[in-house]
């Protein structure tokens, strides 16, 4: 989705909340009267290591904190993030679980665990975490497009439609939101009704989003999307072609062309450097397709 323009993304939420989460933890959340270590400093060091791509160092620092206090939910959370970055999903989930056991209302942990559950194909668990996140921070409900995508893959198309209609009220210039709304309506009521209900978007500056919108509205052809994506420098084209193939795959799936849907989705999932949430979506969808073919 349109990560750079949303009021809420996992990245912006972490950037805003994590410093307070780390700084206030000893004052607000700690169950110990005193801490034998300089835990806030260690937490900051672990977070710095993680942001610098040093997952092993972040785990080492978190382990030091947890040796003194095995229930420190902040250290468990950071270690879980480090395990996730190191692609050890089982350990990441275990740490997120333990963190939430120590502090069940830690919204930041619920968000990250929900995202990881989605990447693992655990759609019901993902939705449950996102729902708890929204319970903790109700004002974020309309911003939560990730929840809408999880609802789509869980087969809850009517709930997905409502989520994307809600998101439109806070992010009116995002073609991707209109497309995911189309996909939910198409799965629930057919492509013709989805086309009639396509949310109009006046502008989305990202290439080739307006061509993608025209495609779903019946006003452009797949080759128009590819042609638009093949503009700009190599890095721009890599990103643009990723989105072109992702949404071409979703379009062909919506109109019932399974062969072309698979071709484009697998290309989006494997041929581009899409290290972001929509890249995860492509990889998850590819895994769903592979399971269907077995």
Q: What is the spatial distance between Cα 2 and Cα 212, in angstroms, rounded to a whole number?
A: 14
The answer to whether residue 192 scores a pLDDT higher than 50 is yes
Contact 145, 177 (CB under 8 A): yes
pLDDT value at residue 4: 41
C-alpha span between 281 and 31 (Å, rounded): 38
Percent residues over pLDDT 70 in the chain: 88
Contact of 43 with 19, CB cutoff 8 Å: no
Round to whole Å and give the CA distance between 229 and 219: 17
E strands, 55-137, are none
What number of other Cβ atoms are within 10 A of residue 220's Cβ?
18
At 224, list the tokens. 């128009």
Tell me the average pLDDT across 229-256: 97
Q: How far is CA 34 from the centre of its chain?
A: 37
pLDDT at 293 over 90: no
pTM beyond cutoff 0.85: yes
Mean pLDDT of 106-110: 97
State pLDDT tens for residues 39-80. 999 999 999 999 999 999 999 999 999 999 999 999 999 999
- Check pLDDT > 80 for residue 267: yes
- 119, 180, 100, 120: which is closest to 144 by C-alpha? 180
Q: Is 274 helix (H, G, I), strand (E, B) or coil?
A: coil
What mean pLDDT comes out for the span 91-97? 98
- Considering the chain, what is the average pLDDT of its residues? 91
Would you mind telling me the total number of residues written for the chain in this entry?
294
SS3 content of the chain, % helix, strand, coil (to 5): 75, 0, 25
DSSP 8-class letter at 200: P
Closest CA to 148 of 172, 173, 176: 176
Q: What pLDDT does 12 receive?
A: 61
- pLDDT of 257 above 60: yes
State the pLDDT at residue 15: 60
Tell me the C-alpha to C-alpha distance, in Å, between residue 135 and each of 81, 182, 191: 22, 27, 33
pLDDT at 133: 98
Q: How confident is the model at residue 9 (pLDDT cuts 50, 70, 90)?
A: low
Q: Which of 284, 16, 292 is nearest to 152 (CA)?
A: 284
Q: What is the pLDDT of residue 270?
A: 97
């Amino acid at each position: 989705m349109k990560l750079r323009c949303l009021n809420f993304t996992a990245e912006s939420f972490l950037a805003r909340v994590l410093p307070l989460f780390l700084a206030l933890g000893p004052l607000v959340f700690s169950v110990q009267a005193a801490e034998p270590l300089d835990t806030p400093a260690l937490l900051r060091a672990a977070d710095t290591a993680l942001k610098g791509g040093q997952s092993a160092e972040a785990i080492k620092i978190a382990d030091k904190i947890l040796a003194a206090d095995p229930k420190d939910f902040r250290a468990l959370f950071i270690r879980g993030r480090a395990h996730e970055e190191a692609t050890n999903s089982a350990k990441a989930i275990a740490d997120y679980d333990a963190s939430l056991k120590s502090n069940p209302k830690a919204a930041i942990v619920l968000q990250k665990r929900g995202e990881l559950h989605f990447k693992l194909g655990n759609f019901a668990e993902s939705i449950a975490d996102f729902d708890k996140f929204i319970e903790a921070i109700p004002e974020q409900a309309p911003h939560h497009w990730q929840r809408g995508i999880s609802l789509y893959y869980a087969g809850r198309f009517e709930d997905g439609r409502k989520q994307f209609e809600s998101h439109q009220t806070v992010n009116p210039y995002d073609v991707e939101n209109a497309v995911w709304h189309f996909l939910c309506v198409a799965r629930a009521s057919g492509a013709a009704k989805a086309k009639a209900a396509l949310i109009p978007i006046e502008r989305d500056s990202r290439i080739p989003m307006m061509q993608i919108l025209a495609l779903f509205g019946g006003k452009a052809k797949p080759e128009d999307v590819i042609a638009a994506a093949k503009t700009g420098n190599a890095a721009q084209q890599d990103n643009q072609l990723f989105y072109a193939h992702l949404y071409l795959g979703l379009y062909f799936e919506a109109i019932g062309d399974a062969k072309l849907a698979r071709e484009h989705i697998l290309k989006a999932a494997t041929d581009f450097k899409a290290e972001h949430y929509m890249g995860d979506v492509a990889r998850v969808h590819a895994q769903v397709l592979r399971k269907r073919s077995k």
